[in-house]
Structure 1
Amino acid sequence: RDQAPLASVPTIQGVVPAVWGVAVNPRAHVSAKHRPRDGSPDPSKTGEFITFGDKHVKVWRKDKTSGIWGGKLASFSDTKAFGVNSAVYLPVKGEDREPRVLAGTSDGRLAIFDLRANKLVKLIRAHEDLGRAPSMRKPGLANTKGIRALLLLEEDNMLVTGGADGRVITWALTDDGDDVIGKVDEIVLQSPMGPGAPPPMIRSLAVAVEPEPDVEEPASEMSAGTKSGTDVTAKVGAAEEGNGKKARTGPVKFYVGTDQCDLW
C-alpha cells in the first residue's frame, strides 16, 4: 500500500535467487481487527511470510521491537535442493504449535517444511512426468512435472493439487492439520485434441462452494487454469478420507481458456 519493500536480498549462497512466489502465515501475531475483508493476510500485520523459488524456501519474520524483517533459509536436510513452484501454510491447530509449510515442487512432489526446526521433514510423491518436451525455456517453467496449483480446503481438512501432468488430486490432512494422510481422489483432464493427446498443464485452481436443493452437503465448483487452456467437466463421487470422514461431494467444473481464444 505504501509501495515500500518489506525485505530484499541480493544473493543466496552467491547466486541471485529466482523468487516464484510468496505465502503469508495467516495466524502469526494476528488479531481480528487486522484481518482484511478479502480474507488474505497482510504480512506487515501477521509478522511472518515465506518466499520460494529456484532451490530455496526462505522464512521471513518481523522483529517486534525494531520492525525489521529478517530472513532465514530452510534446510533441505539430506535431500538435494529442488525448485518450489507453490506453497501454502498448513492449518496446524494449537496455539503453541509452530507452523508448517506444504510446498509443490518442480519435480512433482509435495514437500513439508517444519518452521520450528526450519527444515524439510517429509517428501510425498504426487504428480507424474508425462515426458513432454518443454515449450518454455525460462527457469522452472520448462519442467513437465511441476505442481503449480495448491488449494487448501481448511474446513474439510483437505488439500487439492494441480500438476503439469493434467491431474487434479485431492488429499486428506490429519485432524490437527500438520501432515498429509494420503490421496483421496484424482481427476485427469482430457485434451480437446482427442484420445492420446496429452492433457493440459494446470497452472491455477480455485473452488467455489454453492449449496444445491435437496443436497445435504454443498456442491463444489472448481476452476483450473492451464497452459493451453481447456474446459473439461467431471463429476466426483463420495470418497473416504484417510481419517474416515467423507470428502465433499458434488459436480466439479473445470474452466480453462485456450491459447486460441476458445472457451470450452
Structure 2
Amino acid sequence: MIGKRGQGGGQTMLALQQAMDEYLQQRANTSAAQTAELFEQLARYLVHCSDLFQDMDEDEQGEMSEWEDALEAQMMQLLDGDVEPAHDLGAAPLSRLHSGHVREFVGWFLLRESANSEMIRVAGEVLAGWFTFLRDRGYWPGRQFLEFDAMLKEVVPEAMRAAVLARALYDYARSGCAMAPEARGKPFDRFVEGHARAYALVADGVLFRFDSQQQDYGPVRLPDAILQLVREGDVFDVELGLRAGCWYIVDVGPVYPGCVYVEAEEVAGLDKIS
C-alpha cells in the first residue's frame, strides 16, 4: 500500500501497514524475525481488539472498502479451515495509531497472550526502534515521538513486573504453600472469579475488589517477595476461595498493571464443588 506524499517529502497519509513494512525491510537479518512476529501480533490486536477502525471519515471508509471485502472473503475461507487468519491493516493511515493503542497492546494484549518478561522487554526494544525510525523518516513530528516514547518507558517496565508477578503467583498457588496448615482438608465455603483489582496493600497481603462492588475480598496473604511486586490498581485474572474464614488464591492467570485500564468485574454464576 503506497502512502500519499505531501510537499517537501513529508508523509501526510502514510498507511500504517506500509510504515511497519518499511521498518521491517531495513532491519538486520538477526532481528527481522522478532520484528515481524511482533508486528503480526500488533496487527492482530489492532484489527480484532482495538478501536482503530471506528469513527473513520468517509474518505478513509472508501479506501477501506476493498480491504474489508477481501477480509470478509478470507474469513469465510477461514471458517472452512482453508487459510490462516489475516491481520493486514489495509489502508488505515498511520495517523490513526495513538499511544493508547500501543499502551494497551503491551500492557494488556501481550500479557493476555502469556508473554513473559523477556518477551515484553524485546517488544519494547522493537517498538522503540520503530518509533525512532518514524521520527527520523519524518513520518512523525518530534512531539508525537516524545509522546509515544514516554508511554513506552512507562508501560514496558510495568508490564515486565506484571509478567513476573503472574508467574510467581501461579507457582505459589500450585505449590500448596498458600494454604494455612489449619485450613488444609477443610471445604471451601465460597468461590469468586474474574478480573479483581488490588484495592489496597496491607501488612502481609492484598485486598481485592471488583469495580462494581464495595466488598473487599481478603486480605489474601502472600510471601513478602511476591507482595513487593504488587501495586495498588493492578488487575488479576484470578479465582479466590474462602476457606476457614480466610481468602486464598485458588488459580491465577495474567496480571495487568494499573497503568493500563482493564475492567475489573466478577464472573457471575461460578459453581464449584469444594
Which TM-score band (shorter chain)? under 0.3
More strand by share: 1
| The structure with more radius of gyration | 2
More helix by share: 2
Normalised to the residue count of structure 2, the TM-score between the two structures is: 0.25
Normalised to the residue count of structure 1, the TM-score between the two structures is: 0.26
